[in-house]
Amino acid sequence: MQRRSNLDSKILLAKRAFATVIFILFALRGSRAQQATLQTGDNESGRKIVVSIAHRKLALVEDGKVEKIYEVAVGADSSPSPTGVFEISTRLVKPTYYHPGKVIPAGPSNPLGTRWIGLNTKGYGIHGTNLEGSIGKAASHGCIRMHRKDLEQLFALVQVGDQVEIRDDSDEDLASIFGELPDSAPVTDVASSIAVNGQ
C-alpha cells in the first residue's frame, strides 16, 4: 500500500512537472508571437519605399512624410522593372553576384555594389552598381540601381517586411512626392548594352 502511495505521489509530481514545462513553453511561444507582432507592427507603421519609373527616383516615406529622395536607374525598355507592391525580403552586405556561368564576389567589379535589398519577387531588388553613369537612366535588367552612398544610407533605414511600391504611372500621388514630370519626360536613353548581367 505504501509503495502504491509513493508511486501515485511520483506520478502526480511528474504530471505537475510536465504541466509546468508545457505552461512555460506556451508562455514563451506567446511572448515570441507578441514580439513578432510588435516587429510586424513596426514595419507596418507607415515606412515604405516608393519608386517612380517615370521620374527615375526612389523615395523613403515614413508615416506619410517623404524623408529622402534618391536618383535611381530603372529597367530598360527591353527588361522593364516589375511594377506593383512588394516587400523587402532580404538585406545583404557585400553580396556575391550570381549569373549563369558567372560568380562575382564582393568588390569593385561586382554589379550589385556593396548592398542588396531583395524584394519578394524572385531575382529583383534594389542594389548598388559598378556603372555609376547608369543612375538616372533606364539601364538595368529590371532591378533598381542606386549610387553607393545613397544605397548604404537607405539600407540602414529599412527593414525586412517594409513595403516597396514600384510604379510606372504618373499621377497626383507621385507628383506630390517627386514633382511634376517635365513635358518632355525622359525616354529610354541607354541601350540595354549598358545593363550588366541581368541587373
Q: Please list the active-site residues.
A: 127, 143
144-146 and 125-127: which strand pairing?
parallel
3-state helix, strand, coil in the chain (%, to 5): 35, 30, 40
CA–CA gap between residue 160 and residue 162 (Å, rounded): 6
Residues in a beta bridge with 165: 50, 85
Q: Look up residue 27 and give its three cell numbers.
A: 508562455
Given the C-alpha cell 529583383, which residue does it identify? 124
